[in-house]
């Protein structure tokens, strides 16, 4: 909601009932509760996007009880622009509510030229977080992730860097992303020895992409670490958009970086079958896909993207029907 303050400038005041309907889940064995749905700023928040639309989406998310905003150093485009835009919106709207927010950033992918702007060295991680904090206008992030494994840097160096980031007060918790089960177990062991609160693994997971079920979820459970999932809708395939074929204005039709026509065509029968299951449940396919993830072991939160407030509200509607019959689960498995 917006009101006018004494200066006549529109001021954001969040909905008073924002915590009444959102579901919150514990991250592994930590003290942190995350909203069942978290907002990812991977797309739609860069300099190429509408800042006003981004601001509306962030306001709407907080009004709906979404307290977790997920960023990374290279989100945009261009790199860094999502954090910079978020920082400007945070300053205008969310600064009084900083302690109600759980903000994440990451480093691990290509960010700046030269040998120190990629992967997992101490030099890169600490420098990158310093830049991220400056862009967002924050003193600290709630969780800082190593975004991907580094095949060349010793894991000890990366984990010690994460430990020192916490000791320096630049992050409250740490996480990792895209690590395989064995790497995850090794990272967890090191972080426990360093007495660093390792609470989250961010992994790609959907009905169509279930690699985490091959050991990772079990590893997270064994180590008391929560899983937060990204790409829950398989880049849009798990929506009603493709039930009747491939629309000309869709990501697949434009051979989007992470989705092309071949992907959709190969899964079209499954998409149609899954949409029928969702329809019988009184949900859209996207809502069922999100609800299904929230029932998986160790999953604390599902990261969703949004290009509009209407899309955001539709996805949050998944929380209205989280229960599945065994028959439904079996049918979903048969079409995954």
Q: Report d(CA 61, CA 68) in Å as an integer.
A: 9
Query: Which of the residues in the chain have pLDDT under 70?
Result: 1-9, 245-258
User: Do residues 131 and 124 touch, judged by C-beta distance below 8 A?
Assistant: no
pLDDT score of 261: 81
CATH 3.40.190.290 fits 13-241+283-324, yes or no: no
Express each pLDDT in 11-24 by its tens digit.
899 999 999 999 99
Q: What is the pLDDT of residue 220?
A: 98
Q: What is the pLDDT of residue 265?
A: 86
pLDDT digits (tens, 9 = 90+) for 177-225: 999 999 999 999 999 999 999 999 999 999 999 999 999 999 999 999 9
Identify the pLDDT of residue 248.
63
Question: Using one digit for the tens of pLDDT, what is the confidence trace for 156-178?
Answer: 999 999 999 999 999 999 999 99
Residue given tokens 């029968």 in the structure block: 269
List, in order, residues 6 or more apart from 147 with CB less than 8 Å away: 72, 106, 107, 108, 109, 177, 178
Mean residue pLDDT across the chain: 94
């Amino acid at each position: 909601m917006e009101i006018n303050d004494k200066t006549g400038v529109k001021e954001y005041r969040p909905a008073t009932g924002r915590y009444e309907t959102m579901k919150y889940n514990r991250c592994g064995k930590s003290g942190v509760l995350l909203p069942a749905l978290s907002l990812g700023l991977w797309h739609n928040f860069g300099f190429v996007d509408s800042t006003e639309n981004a601001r509306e989406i962030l306001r709407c998310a907080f009004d709906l009880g979404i307290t977790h905003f997920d960023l990374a150093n290279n989100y945009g485009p261009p790199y860094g622009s999502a954090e910079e835009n978020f920082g400007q919106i945070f300053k205008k709207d969310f600064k009084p509510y900083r302690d109600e927010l759980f903000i994440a950033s990451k480093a691990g992918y290509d960010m700046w030229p030269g040998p120190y702007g990629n992967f997992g060295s101490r030099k890169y991680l600490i420098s990158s977080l310093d830049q991220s904090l400056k862009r967002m206008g924050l003193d600290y992030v709630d969780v800082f992730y190593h975004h991907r494994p580094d095949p060349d840097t010793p894991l000890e160096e990366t984990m010690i860097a994460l430990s020192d980031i916490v000791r320096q007060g630049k992050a409250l918790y740490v996480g990792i992303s895209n690590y395989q089960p064995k790497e995850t177990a090794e990272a967890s062991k090191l972080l426990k020895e360093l007495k660093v609160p390792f609470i989250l693994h961010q992994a790609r997971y959907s009905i169509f992409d279930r690699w985490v079920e091959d050991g990772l979820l079990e590893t997270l459970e064994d180590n008391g670490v929560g899983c937060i999932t990204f790409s829950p809708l398989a880049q849009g395939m798990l929506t009603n958009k493709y039930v009747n074929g491939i629309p000309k204005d869709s990501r697949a039709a434009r051979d989007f970086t992470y989705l092309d026509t071949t992907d959709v065509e190969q899964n079209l029968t499954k998409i149609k079958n899954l949409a029928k299951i969702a329809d019988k449940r009184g949900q859209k396919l996207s809502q069922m896909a999100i609800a299904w993830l929230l029932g998986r072991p160790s999953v604390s939160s599902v990261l969703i993207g949004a290009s509009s407030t209407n899309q955001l509200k539709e996805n949050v509607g998944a929380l209205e029907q989280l229960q599945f019959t065994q028959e439904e689960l079996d049918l979903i498995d048969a079409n995954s």
